Structures are given as structure tokens and as C-alpha cells.
Amino acid sequence: MADTFTTTGSGLGTNLVTLAYDKLIETNLRVLPKFREIADKKVGSLTHNGSSIRFQFNTDIADTTVAGATLEETVDTDAVALPATTYIDVAQLELGRSVLPVKKINLMSIANIDPWVANAIGFNMTKTLDNAIVAKLDAGANIVRVSTTSGTQSVSNVYDGIGTVAAKTAITSADTIKSAAIRTAVTKMRAKGVQYKSAGMYVAYIHPEVSADLRTETGNNVWRTPHEYQNAAPLYGGETGSWEGVRFIETANATNSQSGSGSSTTQTRVYNTYVVGAQALAEAVWKEPGMEVGVVQDRFNRFNPVGWYGIINWALYRTPALVRIETAASGRPNA
């Protein structure tokens, strides 16, 4: 008589051998928020918690000529008026997001969901705040573009209302970042008296795809040459480091979209690089965003609302302290 086997998939094993789960549940890959550190202008002395907060600038006396300051020995000088202040207003922005897990899911889940709820809410808060700041940076009026018109590549700019910048739709897939674009931004900011952001340098927030192009640019006056012959550490580490008076910080949260030349799936993807100086962005806080545990509404304490909440907003403060460089990237030229 042949043996009858009891296997993992039959008989006793049918219901007793089951799929096992790792109770340590990891998160998906995340790009960490970085942009809030740009907002280095804070409220100095607030009168009260109004609906908006007004930041003011003193205006210098316009006449700085020697002729206007020359005195007659026997004639008293005429006083000049101190100009009115200029200002920007930052309105309240009430933000928040919540989830509503029920008690039953914690009782029946294979893993404790409370740590994940806290983690998900916390990351969602910082990511949302980062996105709000990027929207302010994308609205800046100082722009440098690498573009191609009639087969000729150029670096054009508009800064402080002066200059003419090429249309964004003139950016082709070959119009990757150039050191000349960095030099243009730095030159304009220095000429306007923009103060440095960090250790005698401005700071640029650059997408990794764009950073790779900067490090592989060929020709004269490019990043790679001095790093090949004098300081190879950033080259070996794949780090942009500092270049042309700018310290670079890589972030995949830099805005990029198919908005250049072409159409449909082959339209050129345009990447924003943000070069900032001191006080480029102001932050007004009425309530610092943070975790909130809501009030349970049902009679059995089954509903457990958890979320984040805050009242906060940002505005471009010293507008000359922000330059947005728009380019393509060879690693992902379109879709």
C-alpha cells in the first residue's frame, strides 16, 4: 500500500501553513524636504496676531550727490524728507490634513499602526510645506535660461526688471545647465548688493539630473577641470560642492515639468535651479504646524482622528536675492 503524504499544501498543512508577514513595515523611498531653510527672514517684533503680517523696509534718502550736500558758509541748509517705508504683506494660510483610523483596525492588524500613522502625518506635513515654498520660488521674476534659437545656444536673463529672457519654449533637450548661467546669477546678485547666504557664498538648490550635467560640462571655465587637477574629492564623491561663488544642495523636489520645446511625450522637460542669497524668503507664523489629535466623536471611542495643522505663509522678501535658472537635463530630457 502506497504512503499518503501530509504536505504543506494538503491535508493538515492546508490551513496551518500560511503566508508569513514581516511586522516591520518599511516606508517607500522619500525625497526629504529642504526648502524651508531658505526662509531666513522671520517676524522680528509682532504687534499682535492680525489677519496678515506686514514687513516694512526703510527707504534711503535719494540724493547722494556731492553737489546736494555742499554747504554755504553763511547759509543754513534745507532739510530733506525721510522717505516713506515700503512693505510686503503676508496673509494667513491655514493648512492641515487628517486621517481617521478606527479602533478595530488596531485590534485586528498584524502590526501596530500607530507609529505609521504618526510617521505618515509628519512626512505629509513637511512635504506639503516644502511644496508651498517651492510655489513661491517658482513665482520669482529673476530668471536665467539656457536656450537655443535658430540653432544658436545662449544664456539669457531678466533681473530686477532689466533684460530680456528667451521663451521657455525655446529650451531644447540640448540646453543643459552651463557654468555661464551660474556666473550670470552670481554677478547680478553681487551687483545688486545681495548678501551671501552661507559662509561667503550664495546657495543653489539643484536637481540631481541637472547637477550631473554641471559636473560633466566640457570646454573652458567649467566645473570639472579644477576638480580633475586640483581638488578631486568632490569628483570621486559625485558631489557638486561649491562653484562660482555658490554652494550647491541637491534635491529632487526642485520643480521640473515638460514645458520646453516640442510637444506631447517628446516635449523638453525644464528643470528649475534656485540660487538664493540672504533673506530671499520671509516666513510668517501664526501657529507652527504640528501634530494634532482630534476629539473622538462616537460613544465607543472608536474613531481616532489624527492630523497636522498650522497657520503659516511665506513671501518673497528681498526679491533680488532669488534667481531661478531654467534648463534641460540630459539624463531625463523629456518624459
Residue 177 within a domain? yes
* CB-based contacts of 81, cutoff 8 Å, min separation 6: none
Residue 217 within a domain? no
Rg (CA), the chain: 28
- Average pLDDT for residues 161-177, to the nearest whole number? 96
- Average pLDDT for residues 323-331, to the nearest whole number? 98
- Average pLDDT for residues 316-328, to the nearest whole number? 98
| Tens-digit pLDDT profile for residues 39-86 | 999 999 999 989 999 999 999 999 999 999 999 999 999 999 999 999
Model confidence at 236, pLDDT cuts 50, 70, 90, reads low
**Please, are residues 172 and 261 in contact by the beta-carbon 8 Å criterion?**
yes
Distance CA 304, CA 296 (A): 6
**Which pLDDT does position 33 carry in this prediction?**
94
**Averaged pLDDT score across all residues of the chain:** 93
Work out the percent of the chain whose per-residue pLDDT is above 70: 96
Model confidence at 256, pLDDT cuts 50, 70, 90, reads very high
Place of cell 555661464: 180
**Please, are residues 272 and 209 in contact by the beta-carbon 8 Å criterion?**
no
Residue 67 within a domain? no
**Please, are residues 157 and 165 in contact by the beta-carbon 8 Å criterion?**
yes
- Average pLDDT for residues 289-297, to the nearest whole number? 91
What does the CA dihedral 295, 297, 300, 306 come to, rounded to 10 degrees? Answer: -40
Distance CA 164, CA 142 (A): 11
Residue 262 within a domain? yes
| Tens-digit pLDDT profile for residues 17-32 | 999 999 988 999 999 9
Q: What's the structural domain count of the chain? A: 1
**Which pLDDT does position 237 carry in this prediction?**
67
Q: Which of 256, 267, 265, 262 is nearest to 327 (CA)?
A: 256
**Which pLDDT does position 224 carry in this prediction?**
75
Q: Does residue 144 carry a pLDDT above 90? A: yes
Q: What is the DSSP string of 295-329?
A: ---STTS-B--EEEEEEEEEEE-SGGGEEEEEEB-
Residue 193 within a domain? yes
Helices (H) and strands (E) in the chain, counts: 8, 13
Handedness of CA 97, 103, 104, 106 (dihedral sign): positive
Model confidence at 228, pLDDT cuts 50, 70, 90, reads low
Phi, psi at 316, each rounded to 5°: -65, 130
Owning domain of residue 199: 140-211+245-282+317-327
Q: Does residue 1 carry a pLDDT above 70? A: yes
**Please, are residues 36 and 133 in contact by the beta-carbon 8 Å criterion?**
yes
Distance CA 33, CA 103 (A): 32
Q: Does residue 233 carry a pLDDT above 90? A: no
Model confidence at 234, pLDDT cuts 50, 70, 90, reads low
Q: Does residue 229 carry a pLDDT above 80? A: no
Q: What is the DSSP string of 223-289?
A: SHHHHHHT--HHHHHT---EETTEEEEE-TTS-EEE-SSS-GGGSPEEEEEEEE-TTSEEEEEEEEE
Q: Which of 131, 157, 144 is nearest to 324 (CA)?
A: 144
- Average pLDDT for residues 167-185, to the nearest whole number? 96
pTM of this structure: 0.91
**Which pLDDT does position 73 carry in this prediction?**
93
Q: Which of 105, 167, 138, 160 is nearest to 272 (CA)?
A: 138
Residue 263 within a domain? yes
**Which pLDDT does position 220 carry in this prediction?**
85
- Average pLDDT for residues 84-105, to the nearest whole number? 96
| Tens-digit pLDDT profile for residues 178-195 | 999 999 999 999 999 999
**Which pLDDT does position 216 carry in this prediction?**
92
Q: Is 15 helix (H, G, I), strand (E, B) or coil?
A: helix
- Average pLDDT for residues 86-96, to the nearest whole number? 97
**Which pLDDT does position 230 carry in this prediction?**
67
- Kindly report the CA angle at 185 between 147 and 40, in degrees rounded to 5? 130
Residue 251 within a domain? yes
